Amino acid sequence: MKESVIVVYERPELNDPIFIEGLPGIGLVGKLAAEHLINELKAKKFADLYSPHFLHQVLIKKDSTVDLMKNEFYYWKSPDEEHRDLIIITGDTQVPPTDSYGHFEVVGKMLEFVEQFGTREIITMGGYQVPELQGEPRVLGSVTHLELKEKYKGYDIVFREDEGGAIVGAAGLLLGIGKLKGMKGICLLGESLGYIVDAKAAKAVLNVVAKILNLEIDMTALDERAKETEEILRKVQEMQRAMLEQQIPTVERGEEDRGYI
C-alpha cells in the first residue's frame, strides 16, 4: 500500500451535500459528535479510507476480529426540502502528528472523494483545550470566507480572533485545502479541559451543528456513548500500563502487541 486508498461500497446520489468531519482529537470531541450524529440520523456507511500514513497496526474488536485502522464515510439523504444532504466522516485515528506530509496526503484524498458527490461546503468539529471552564463550554468558530461569519452570526458561535493561532490536523487542513478547491467551510471547536472523553464539549458543538443544519438531535445517548468510550480507553490504558511497568529494554524488542496508541 503506497498511498491512501478509499474502498467504496455505494455511490449515493447526493444533492449539494455538506461534508462534516469528526475524527479523534482533543477530548475526542469531534469523534463523539460525529458518531452521535451518525447514530441519531441513522446515516449509512458507504466508504472506508485506509492509509499507509496511519499506524502500522490492526485494531482488535470484541469478537476477536481485526481491521486496519480506518476512517469511515457515511451519508444521509434529506427526506425533504428543508434539510441538506450530508456526508459525515469519523474513524479510529488521524495520521500521527510527526507526519505532516501524511496529513496532507490523507486530507487531499478525502476532499477528492467528497468532491465527486458535489460537496462545496465543509463543517469540521473538534475540541479546544482550555485551562478552566467558566460555565458551559463555548464553541469557537473559524471560517474559510468572511461571508460565513456573517451567515452563522446567530448560532452561539464565538468567532476566534487570536491572530497567529492555529488549527492542527484534519479539522484545519480540510478547510485549508478545501479553500484551494473553491470550497467553503467552518471549524467548530468546543472548549474542553482535555479530558480523555468530553461529552459536554461534544454536545455544545453538536448543538451548533444542529442549528446550522436545521435538525433536532436527541442528546440523551451521547452521555452513554461517552461513558462507554471512556471505559474502553481506560481498560486499554490499564493494560498498557501493566505492560510498560514490566518492560525491560532490550535491543531486539519487537512490537507485535501493544495497546491502542
Strand pairing report for 184-192 and 139-143: antiparallel
Cα–chain-centroid distance for residue 203? Answer: 14
Which residue's CB is nearer to its own copies, number 218 or number 245? 245
Stretch that binds its own copies, among 76-84, 114-122, 209-217, 245-253 (CB under 8 A): 245-253
Which residue's CB is nearer to its own copies, number 41 or number 106? 106
Minimum distance, C-beta of residue 103 to its own copies, in the bound complex (Å) = 3
Enumerate residues 26-85 that contact its own copies by CB under 8 A: 26-30, 50, 52-68
CB 129 within 8 A of CB 194: yes
Stretch that binds its own copies, among 74-82, 113-121, 128-136, 212-220 (CB under 8 A): 128-136
Enumerate residues 166-225 that contact its own copies by CB under 8 A: 166-169, 171-173, 175-177, 179-180, 187, 189, 193-196
Enumerate residues 87-116 that contact its own copies by CB under 8 A: 94-97, 99-105, 107-108
Question: Which of left, alpha, beta for 194 (phi over 0: left; psi -120 to 50: alpha)?
Answer: left
**Three cell numbers at 125?**
468539529
Q: Is 255 exposed, middle or buried (0-12, 13-18, 19+ CB in 10 A)?
A: exposed
Stretch that binds its own copies, among 75-83, 203-211, 213-221, 243-251 (CB under 8 A): 243-251
DSSP of 76-119: E--SSTTS--EEEEEES----TT-HHHHHHHHHHHHHHHHTTT-
Which residue's CB is nearer to its own copies, number 216 or number 245? 245
Q: Is 127 in the site for its own copies (CB under 8 A)?
A: yes
